[in-house]
Amino acid sequence: MTNPPDWLTRGAPHIWRPYTQMKTAAPPIPVVRTRGAKLILADGRELIDGIASWWTAAHGYNHPHIIEAMRAQLEKMPHVMFGGLAHEPAYVLARRLADVLPGALNHAFLAESGSVAVEIAMKMAVQFWLNQGVRGRTKFVSFRGGYHGDTFATMMVSDPEEGMHKLFADVLPAQHVVALPYDDAGEKVLDAFLAEHGSEIAALIVEPLVQGAGGMVFHEPEVLRRLRRLADAHRVLLIFDEIFTGFGRTGSLFAMEQAGVEPDIVTLSKALTGGVLPLSAAIASDRVFDGFLSDDPLAALMHGPTYMANPLACAAANASLDLFAQGAWRADVPRIDARLREGLAPCRDLPGVKDVRVRGAIGVVELHKAPDRAALTARFLDLGVWIRPLDRIVYLTPPLIATDDDVAVLTGAIRTALAA
């Protein structure tokens, strides 16, 4: 590798990197351009991106349709406050999200990040009950292995053991983090739990079908039907956090479609703008939204971040929805699923491998123990790929436009690196 660029050397003492021990961590990889499924590094090397920038770049990088929509919006109005003002990109986006989401999920609150959307969904749930005159429903039930964000409220509902947040356990008011009801016995356990605690619960929150950052763990659609039945039986709201699963990743546009059930609130972010700008949404059902309609000003939803509904981000999201409407992803996701299965299956026989699993455009090799990340990353770089494990989980979530060859290179790199 050639010398690092000047901006990296000079800025490095001043940047605080995420989840990084700044004393010992290997230096980050300088990247200067993106294109399609590729990252182009400062030294000219090109890597096939196996992560799609944390699952955001669904259509690949620099998609001309998204770039064009952003350019047009940039010249007109990059940003304007959303309090009291309205702009076309947000209003079009809210209507289109209502169109593509199942059933009664019709009312979008637009924010900037996934964690904030989850916070808003939690706020909606608590305030919904208060608005109905129901007091004491202030807690949440979430599930082991779940991940819902890095802010304080979202840490509370993420898995305290497996997740990244155990350090803060003493700071966070305890919530109920329980086992997913994988079978009828699990449903009975959760049913009994809700019979005892239901009156203090505002909502259940779950990542449908795939628990992402908590370890890429899959469950069957029936689990979501169980949660819907239990939420109804115990009169608690149900929140689906589709920030990871939304926009095609699991094979349907939204994971919930595979279960045929709807939540009361859904959160979206990650691939919402096709990976170009931060944007998120908490989208409520008619019932939840109607619960805020009142002559009492204090019954209004009490939230409004400065950069909410940023017009440029909304324009990008609308362009991304155009691409999803064109529908290439419907063939691409099963194609990538098949290539991932083929390419990763031989990993089952490698030492240190605990499990190999694939769902849609998500391929996972779970190891018995966490690998040496720096060494593994260096190996992947030599093999021309960008793959960044989550602890024991080596995974691929490539852009949905990744070609068969791209996926073959990615899976080949995992086989080679893990065999070494």
Ligand X SMILES: *Cc1c(COP(=O)(O)O)cnc(C)c1O
Site size with ligand X, rule: CB under 6 A? 15
Q: Which of 93, 105, 100, 90 is nearest to 239 (CA)?
A: 105
Query: Parallel, antiparallel, or unpaired for β 280-285 and 265-268?
Result: antiparallel
Our answer to whether residue 241 is catalytic in this structure is yes
| Least distance from ligand X to the Cβ atom of residue 171, Å | 19
Our answer to whether residue 43 is catalytic in this structure is no
CA-to-CA dists, residue 283 to 107, 158, 288, 328, 333, angstroms: 5, 20, 10, 25, 25
Catalytic residue among 139, 270, 337, 406: 270
| Least distance from ligand X to the Cβ atom of residue 356, Å | 21
**Residue closest to ligand X when measured from CB atoms:** 114
Coil, strand or helix: which one is 196? helix
Which segments of 101-244 does DSSP mark as H helices, in order? 114-131, 152-157, 184-197, 221-233
Residue 269 in contact with ligand X, rule: CB under 6 A: yes
Of 265 and 418, nearer to ligand X (C-beta) is 265
Residue 115 in contact with ligand X, rule: CB under 6 A: yes
Of 159 and 241, nearer to ligand X (C-beta) is 241
| Member of 206, 213, 364, 409 binding ligand X (CB under 6 A) | 213
Q: Which of 159, 167, 251, 273 is nearest to 207 (CA)?
A: 159
| Least distance from ligand X to the Cβ atom of residue 28, Å | 18
Of 221 and 412, nearer to ligand X (C-beta) is 221
Residue 148 in contact with ligand X, rule: CB under 6 A: yes
- Whether 367 and 352 have beta carbons less than 8 Å apart is answered as yes
Catalytic residue among 38, 61, 139, 147: 147
Of 390 and 413, nearer to ligand X (C-beta) is 390
Our answer to whether residue 147 is catalytic in this structure is yes
> Which residue's structure tokens are 């449903």?
187
Coil, strand or helix: which one is 266? strand
- Whether 261 and 100 have beta carbons less than 8 Å apart is answered as no
Binding residues for ligand X, rule: CB under 6 A, are 113-115, 118, 147-149, 207, 212-213, 241, 243-244, 269-270
Catalogue the active-site residues: 19, 147, 241, 270
